[in-house]
């Protein structure tokens, strides 16, 4: 599999080609739409976690889900999500490989019913990043590195003021990425003001590197 370093063109100083990240494995999803004309500027990054089937990694099922090609009969768990049409802008594998499914200028279907920084319908003005993992469990160092880098690159193109988990924008309905995600570690890697993160994530133990 091509890694971030292999795919990033050294001769081109910008990481972007339009709303597509040049270092990402590109796999376009049909599950997207235009951002509403009345929407505020894109200023929020939402971090999620996903694995299909839950707790199993590396099989390609997440990519299939986001492109509407998942075989619903391949695993009993899939019967509960049969017909689901969702997407995220980005997906980061356990190895740190970065995938992109939706142009960041467009609206991906990742947040659902949500409310944050005084606004509802967070899909309208956010960028969604899925981490391969199970909510509540740990994530890999390579994922933190890839997440920090893509967040920094997103902030070069969009006026990002906030980063939060799905659990923060849809409390009670969503739990990801969960207590296993190390927010202080991400904040240090980004070197962003702690105020950009949800207040509940600004303290707590950090996982070892």
Cα–Cα distance measured from residue 114 to residue 130, given in angstroms and rounded to the nearest whole number:
16
Per DSSP bridges, beta strands 107-108 and 32-33 are antiparallel
Phi, psi at 52, each rounded to 5°: -140, 125
Select from 140, 153, 157, 148 the least CA-distant residue to 188: 148
Q: Which residues are identified as catalytic?
A: 130
**Tokens standing for residue 44:** 């929020």
Q: Which uninterrupted H or E stretch holds 47? A: strand 44-50
């Amino acid at each position: 599999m091509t890694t971030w370093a292999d795919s990033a063109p050294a001769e081109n100083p910008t990481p972007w080609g339009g709303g597509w990240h040049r270092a990402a494995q590109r796999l376009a999803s049909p599950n997207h739409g235009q951002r509403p004309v009345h929407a505020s500027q894109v200023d929020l990054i939402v971090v999620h976690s996903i694995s299909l089937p839950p707790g199993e990694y590396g099989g390609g099922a997440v990519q299939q889900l986001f492109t509407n090609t998942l075989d619903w009969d391949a695993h009993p768990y899939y019967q509960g999500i049969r017909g689901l049409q969702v997407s995220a802008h980005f997906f980061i594998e356990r190895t740190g490989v970065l995938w992109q499914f939706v142009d960041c200028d467009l609206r991906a279907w990742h947040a659902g019913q949500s409310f944050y920084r005084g606004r509802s319908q967070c899909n309208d003005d956010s960028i969604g990043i899925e981490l391969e993992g199970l909510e509540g469990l740990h994530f890999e160092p390579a994922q933190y590195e890839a997440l920090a880098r893509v967040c920094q690159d997103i902030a070069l193109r969009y006026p990002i003021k906030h980063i939060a988990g799905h659990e923060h924008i849809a409390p009670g309905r969503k739990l990801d990425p969960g207590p296993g995600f190390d927010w202080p570690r991400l904040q240090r890697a980004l070197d962003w003001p702690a105020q950009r993160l949800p207040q509940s994530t600004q303290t707590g133990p950090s996982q070892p590197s």
